[in-house]
Amino acid sequence: MTEFREILAVLLLQAGYNTTVVMLGAAALGAATGTVGVFAMLRRRALVADAVAHATLPGVALGFITAVALGFSGKSLPFLLAGSALTAVLSALCIQWIVTHTRLNEDTAIASVLATFFALGVVLLTVIQTLKTGGQAGLDVYLLGATAGMLRSEAITLAAFSFIAAAVVAAFFKELTLVSFDTEYARAHGFPVRVLDLLVLALVLAVIVIGLRVVGLVLIVALLIIPPAAARFWTNHASRMTIVSAIIGAASAYGGAALSAVRPDTPTGPVIVLLAFAILLVSVCFGSARGLVIRALGTQKLPRRVS
Amino acid sequence: MISFLQIDLPALLVGTLAALVCALIGNFLMLTRQSMLGDAMGHVVLPGIVIAFMIAASTATWVMLTGAFAAALFASLLVEFLRRSAGVEPSAALGAVFTAMFALGVLLLEQSGVARTSFDVHHILFGNIETAIWPAATGLSSLFDANALANLPPQVARLGFGLFIVALIVILLFKELRVVSFDPVFARTIGISPRLIGAIVVALAALAAVVSLSATGVILLVAMMVCPPATARMLTDDLKTQVLLSLAFALASGLLGYAIAVLLPLGLGYEISLGAAGTIAVVAGVFQLIAMIAGPKRGSPRNA
């Protein structure tokens, strides 16, 4: 019972300034992944996003090693973000190269890039564990995420990046919607489909890198997949769907951050993902546009109207 | 010699057996465009294994198998429900279910205290084949001593059992697997159900995932399900040759990867350690990279 009251206090932002900043940062991140996720799903990038997320691990490790070699703290965010962005881009290029230059199908390309990059990261991490520099434990949070012990400056940085990603989506909303829902029409009317596809991929890469610290690279792809899938049950309209998806992403991340603020030993990523999945199941049943309940009522009404 | 038998041999056995069983079934996952399903399977069985362990308080093979199969079955029902009844896009349904189930597995591991007694999240993610040891070995004679062999780590027997079952079914159903992999439409006309064969492939992948996951971690199993078959596919058009080559590459990755992980730090004289499971997976990826650049059958069949 006390735990429940504690969680409630945190949810209502009564848990101190730092926790509040971190939770709002997480919510901003969730909103960004929810927004970008809509277009990533429509362009069928779910599995590529998973591979790219796992491929950030060697980048995180290289960022750590570079930072230590240059005399900085191994945990300094700019190095880790730059490293993870580098290997994320590299992995996306590798998938593209395999699909266009060999006869392996896309599924095989994605799975092999995911496995090889992640394995390389694992090997580099085991090397780092035995280096005598200290601070290695801090890298663990990039696997499954953690909001406990997050710095205020980190939260603000992540929130700012999330805001930029959401703003880019808003700026190109019409073009992205058109390309995603009706590629042929967009191409016929001279929209640069390839450029917009690259923009979607770039946004996916950006939110993955931003989300590593909070959700972790193993599960970040869930925040791109689940909110749009859930939002689909509440509306048939593209712009409303994007907004609902952003709200679901934000709510999941906010709630997950709150729960792990009460229990600091709990990794944040899994909590966020389970919350999002619970919202998906509720949406499947009770969604106002395509939920099972609505559809069951709708099919009962239809024959009466026909007769 | 004794330290090789006690430390290196069991780790090598675990690493290579897992590589072989995963690569074998990986051939058919690749040809039916389901390589990412192998990845999903590696994630989905985690909560099953953890819950089974919590209920039965044992890591016996049948406990792990039951839990993992229950989880795999539950996951496929959930994916089907989201796809068919609710109309969620297939790859989104798969992605949502396997991330949520892995999340559940991780939380159960962390909260239940299982983590400190038996396996933890790091071992699941990174692999832990180094923890397979054979303290009963006292010399070469132990290799022929039934009592000492009975004390081999339980993972070895579990992996051997998995490899035996997968190999047996692949050999028995080889003709059906070949037809369904390359020409599902023709398969149906001659009375072979692609759905049934597909379900068998998925079940065997689940079996491979179960026996490998707690022994080697998820990364080795995912890498071995895709990299050796993809490497072999760059070298031949014949399915039987492809399967045999993929097994050879899996074996070579296991042996070479383990040797690098153990010998490289010694050779460099640094006090560092390389994770063996990760190193094996990287070696498999390097084989695939070389084959993609130089393999005789790398391009599309239409151009060749």
A110 to chain B, any CB pair closer than 8 A? The answer is yes
Q: Which residues of B touch A120 (CB under 8 A)?
A: 278, 282, 285
Residue B285 identity (one-letter amino acid): G
Vertex A230: Cα angle to B33 and A234 (nearest 5) = 135
Q: Which residue has the tokens 């990760």?
A: B278
Q: Is B81 helix (H, G, I), strand (E, B) or coil?
A: helix
Residue B167 CB-half CA count within 13 A = 12
The CATH classification number of A2-306 equals 1.10.3470.10
Of B209, B263, B100, nearest to A256 (Cα)? B100
A307 to chain B, any CB pair closer than 8 A? The answer is no
pLDDT digits (tens, 9 = 90+) for A16-36: 777 888 888 899 999 999 999
Please tell me the predicted confidence (pLDDT) of residue B19.
Answer: 95
Which residue out of A125, A126, A259, A279 would a mutagenesis test of the B interface target, given it has the greatest number of B Cβ atoms within 10 Å? A126
**CB pair distance less than 8 Å for A41 and B92:** yes
C-alpha distance from A182 to closest chain B C-alpha (Å):
17
Grade residue B303 by pLDDT with cuts at 50, 70 and 90. Answer: very low
Please tell me the predicted confidence (pLDDT) of residue A244.
Answer: 95
Q: DSSP states of chain A as a string? A: -HHHHHHHHHHTT-S-HHHHHHHHHHHHHHHHHHHHHHHHHHTT-HHHHHHHHHTHHHHHHHHHHHHHHTTS-TT-HHHHHHHHHHHHHHHHHHHHHHHHHSS--HHHHHHHHHHHHHHHHHHHHHHHHHSSSS-GGGGGHHHH---TT--HHHHHHHHHHHHHHHHHHHHTHHHHHHHHH-HHHHHHTT--HHHHHHHHHHHHHHHHHHHHHHH-TTTHHHHHHHHHHHHTTT-S-HHHHHHHHHHHHHHHHHHHHHHHHHSTTS-HHHHHHHHHHHHHHHHHHH-TTT-HHHHHHHHHHHHHHH-
Please tell me the predicted confidence (pLDDT) of residue A247.
Answer: 95
How far does CA A243 lie from the centroid of its chain?
16
Listed by start position, the domains of chain A span 2-306
E strands, chain B, are: none
Count other C-beta atoms under 10 Å from residue B139's C-beta.
11
C-alpha distance from A264 to closest chain B C-alpha (Å):
12
**CB pair distance less than 8 Å for B298 and A103:** yes
On the question of pLDDT at A194 being above 90, the answer is: no
Say which residues have a Cβ less than 8 Å from residue A196's Cβ, sequence separation at least 6. A172, A175, A176, A179, A186
Least CA distance to A294: which residue of chain B? B86
**Hey, what's the torsion of the CAs at B202, B204, B210, B212, to 10 degrees?**
-110
Listed by start position, the domains of chain B span 2-216
Say which residues have a Cβ less than 8 Å from residue A204's Cβ, sequence separation at least 6. A36, A40, A45, A48, A49, A52, A224
Output phi, psi for B252, to 5 deg: -60, -40
On the question of pLDDT at B304 being above 50, the answer is: no
- Is CATH 1.10.10.10 the classification given to domain B2-216? no
Q: Which residues of A touch B300 (CB under 8 A)?
A: 102-103
Q: Which residues of B touch A225 (CB under 8 A)?
A: 92, 95-96, 99
- The percent of residues in chain A predicted with pLDDT above 70, rounded, is 93
Q: Which of B12-16, B112-116, B261-265 has the lowest mean pLDDT?
A: B112-116
Q: Which residues of A touch B36 (CB under 8 A)?
A: 47, 50, 107, 110-111
| Lookup: tokens for A107 | 């599924």
Please tell me the predicted confidence (pLDDT) of residue A2.
Answer: 67
pLDDT digits (tens, 9 = 90+) for B273-292: 788 899 999 999 999 999 99
Q: Which of A172-181, A184-193, B135-144 has the lowest mean pLDDT?
A: B135-144
Q: Which residues of B touch A110 (CB under 8 A)?
A: 35-36
What region, left, alpha or beta, does residue A145 occupy, with left being phi > 0 and alpha being psi -120 to 50 degrees? left
pLDDT digits (tens, 9 = 90+) for A106-155: 889 999 999 999 999 989 988 887 776 666 667 778 888 887 777 788 88
Nearest beta carbon to residue B92 from set A46, A111, A115: A46
For helices A193-215 and A17-42, angle between their N-to-C axes, nearest 10 degrees: 150
Residue B43 near residue B98 (C-beta atoms within 8 A): yes
A218 to chain B, any CB pair closer than 8 A? The answer is yes
**Highest mean pLDDT: which range of A10-14, A299-303, B208-212:** B208-212
**CB pair distance less than 8 Å for B103 and A120:** no
Q: Which residues of A touch B219 (CB under 8 A)?
A: 115, 118-119, 122
